[in-house]
Chain A
Amino acid sequence: MNVFLFFLLTLSTPLLAADQNLIYCSEGSPVAFNPQVTTDGTSSNAASYTIYNRLVDFKEGTTEVIPSLADSFDVSKDKMTYTFNLRKNVKFHTTKYFTPTRNLNADDVIFSFNRQMDKTNPYHLVGGGIYEYFQSMEMDKLIKSVEKIDQYKIKITLSQPNAAFLANLAMPFMSILSLEYAEKLIKEKNKDEIDQSPIGTGPFIFINYSKDNLIRFKGNINYFEGAPKIKQLIFSITPDANVRFQKLRAGECHFIIEPSPSDLPIIKGDKKFIVLEGPGLNVAYLALNTSKTPFDKLEVRLAINHALNKNAYIKAIYLDNAIVAKNPIPPTIWSYNNKIEDYDYNPKKSLELLKKAGLEKGFETEIWTLPINRPYNPNGKKMGEMMQADLAKIGIKAKLVTYDWGTYLAKANKGEHQMIQMGWTGDNGDPDNFLNVLLSCQAVKTGSNYARWCNKEFNDLIQNATIAIKKKDRINLYQKAQEVFKKDAPWVTLAHSTVYRAMSPQVKGYKISPLGHDIFTHVFVE
């Protein structure tokens, strides 16, 4: 009997230790522990806001830029020069593999910039020499120089004013690394380790990573903002959303990322869990290739806008976990133009518009449907079928086409499509990050303007907004740009999906981030 009891006791699942351990069930394995060289959200969550800080950061739960490693900064009148004053008491992490001998200073900042922008930097080619964010946001062209004024003062000169520059600096890829650690690794001929065994200044210190299994951090008692309450932070890598929820139910995690939409009603209905939801910084859209007939005709584009029943998609595809989109930027982004009226669902009007365009008999075309689930669109194929049915009502026979994700992107970049489902998740909360990347004339050349829509009026507005000095002016320009966009209808804006996190009620102090990051600096377990 005793043996049986012992067996049962050893079999029972251990309760989560209350000693300020937080177990976060994440969705995947990080590629590296350095946001300079990674682009995926998983890697960013694992390193950006645990291990590192930047000169400026986003205020938790918002897209507002606030001082971080720099405790203050000045911007010149012409917005071409930024001077940052660094904090003097910032310590780099002490780990098994590195003990810093000095605090953070200007050399570390310069090193972190130079690794990405200076081809002669000894670390530039480590990991392949590709700094996708840095390069695709054209920081290499924008930053003219980074100079050290003194140990704690940095001057950055730009080649032209750019209003989104500060927001860009707060993005994960601008994290600050330790030069002293980098030099140590050069001496040990082990440069690759910089991205795998990280040293930063952030609230959590990296302990170990067991591949595809877990990442372990400990709270940084020397953190410049004060030690986090969590002593041990563990990322338990659980790719299956259903299993993540079961782990939450079984008490094996405190916090789960992206619960499956089908589990949401159960989680919401159970008092043992808390569900946080926030508007996602994303947009799903159907781009109409304006370089091809008949989508070069405004009437056709408007007809399609009136023909698609977006409310039905929100119900059937997003299970109501999204809102209808009327603008190319989500409502959480400043300068969102709420005055704009969306095209209503009105097949009759569509028929009239088609008649005006001389296409009263309809036409044959293709809709490319997303081959994989993305945060902004959980089921491209099903949405495609619904769109097909809607368009059939106005005489447009649309064939559904899809390719695997890599091919889909490659062909779409070349503009081979007619209508294509696409979407975007913002990086820094700046409207430029949507409007310029997705709709500028330059983006037709680089491929990310899938409507291949180059409208001079729109383009001038967003380019002027980039160099405008006052925020009020930028807001005005972006709002006007949204009006031009709506009138010319190069897309059917579809949805902004909602972001979810589920957690145990023991977890306190967490704020959902509009940028999709999970930040645990001020979180604690009750």
Chain B
Amino acid sequence: MFLLKKFLKLFPTLFGICLLSFFVIRFIPGDPVMLLLGERGNDPEVYAQMKKSLGLDLPIYSQFGNYLSGVFKGDLGKSIITGKSIISEFFSRFPATLELSLFAMVFALILGIPLGILAAVNRGTFWDYFLMSGSLIGYSMPIFWWGLLLILLFSVNLGITPVSGRIDVLYYIEPWTNFILIDSLQREVISQDGFGPFISALKHLILPTIAMGTIPMAIIARMTRSSMLEVLDEEYIKTAKAKGQTNFKIVFKHALKNALIPIITVTGLMLGSLITGAILTETIFSWPGIGKWIVASVNQRDYPAIQGGVLIIGTLVVLVNRSIDILYYWVNPRLR
């Protein structure tokens, strides 16, 4: 019953997303038909015909009505630019973004947490200042600049990583899941090229992962530090120290467990904001994901693509957050 209630509450939120994404893009000046026609000027007849074929000649409320009825039927419309279904356009690109986001998140956690602990344990020392100012730099680094710097160093000067793309272009892999790491392990691919494609895909992930994961890593490191400092001041830690426990045990067994709770919350919230990072990272590293797609759609005023893209991403973020809420409820009986 509780679950049902929670999920029923999703509908107003999703309706709000539909409403906002539909109207906000229409409030931005710019006519998609004019953009398609460019400097060519236009024959009013061609203009009117184009507008009609895109359904943009209808009054705005009818357009919204048509859109909503489509959404209920699971049809988000077709892209103005490519004429393809929005759902297929989105989900053919989404795995690329998800794959990169997951790697970036793992990178941020694996480096961010230990660095935060190191700074907390050495509070007030050189290491603390060094790591925290480093994380401040990491946090304020513009992704496009950082990405280009990584390319110059690792790809051009050292020649150890590829510049951009998802896999060496000479490998031909039939898409199956669109997760390149999975697709490159298909039986046919391995029998033809061995593990070459898989290794190539991993190599292509290195730089985008670093570029995209740096800001979350900096945030996690700072969060871990402050959370650890708080926990390390708790009475039970002092008790553990008085009992003669080793520092290692105190930090990793007693303190970290409790310090992790806020970090996990932040990590969950950060997954949504990773999309913002994806937009820049994907552009620099020619990563064929949804960040790049949505930006291109906004520039071309591809209304259905923007509406559909925002709606799907919004739904996913809301669902993830709602699932976390439920998880809390499960874990912490006081919330019930």
**Interface, chain A (partner B; CB < 8 A):** 8, 10-14, 17, 21, 23, 29, 31-32, 39, 127-130, 132, 135-136, 192, 195-196, 207-208, 210-214, 216, 232, 234, 236-240, 242-243, 246-247, 249-250, 252, 403-407, 409-410, 413, 422-424, 437, 443, 446-449
Task: Give Cα A211 to B166, complex, Å.
Answer: 12
Between-chain CB contacts (< 8 Å), 6 pairs: A135-B46, A136-B46, A243-B286, A406-B34, A413-B41, A448-B39
Contact B92 A211 (CB under 8 A): yes
Closest CB of chain B to A432's CB: distance in Å?
15
Residue numbers in A under 8 Å from B32 (CB-CB): 406
Contact A214 B169 (CB under 8 A): yes
Kindly specify which of B109-117, B155-163, B246-254 makes contact with the partner chain.
B155-163
Residue of A nearest to B39 (CB): A424
Known pairs A129-B49, A240-B284, A252-B162; A409 contacts B36 (CB<8 A) = no
Residue numbers in A under 8 Å from B29 (CB-CB): 403-404, 406-407
Closest CB of chain B to A260's CB: distance in Å?
12
Contact A413 B42 (CB under 8 A): yes
Task: Give Cα A453 to B89, complex, Å.
Answer: 44
Contact B288 A405 (CB under 8 A): no
Interface extent on B, as a size class?
A: 35 or more
Residue numbers in A under 8 Å from B28 (CB-CB): 404
Residue of A nearest to B43 (CB): A446
Contacting residue for B54 out of A32, A128, A446, CB 8 A: A128
**Interface, chain B (partner A; CB < 8 A):** 28-32, 34-44, 46, 49-50, 53-54, 81-84, 89, 92-93, 148, 151-152, 155-156, 159-166, 168-170, 172, 175, 199-200, 203, 283-286, 288-289, 292-293, 296, 301
Q: 4 shortest A-B CB distances, which residue pairs? A: A448-B41, A406-B30, A212-B288, A213-B288
Residue numbers in A under 8 Å from B285 (CB-CB): 243
Contact A39 B164 (CB under 8 A): no
Residue of B nearest to A251 (CB): B159
Task: Give Cα A250 to B38, complex, Å.
Answer: 36
Closest CB of chain B to A118's CB: distance in Å?
16
Task: Give Cα A236 to B165, complex, Å.
Answer: 8
Contact B286 A213 (CB under 8 A): yes
Contact A21 B38 (CB under 8 A): no
Task: Give Cα A21 to B170, complex, Å.
Answer: 8
Contacting residue for A447 out of B42, B81, B92, B152, CB 8 A: B42
Contact B148 A211 (CB under 8 A): no
Known pairs A211-B92, A413-B41, A448-B40; A247 contacts B164 (CB<8 A) = yes
Residue numbers in A under 8 Å from B160 (CB-CB): 8, 11-13
Task: Give Cα A239 to B285, complex, Å.
Answer: 9
Task: Give Cα A246 to B159, complex, Å.
Answer: 11
Contact B159 A410 (CB under 8 A): no
Known pairs A10-B199, A13-B160, A236-B169; A132 contacts B82 (CB<8 A) = no
Residue of A nearest to B171 (CB): A14
Contacting residue for A250 out of B53, B81, B82, B163, CB 8 A: B163
Contact B163 A404 (CB under 8 A): no
Known pairs A129-B49, A410-B34; A246 contacts B152 (CB<8 A) = yes
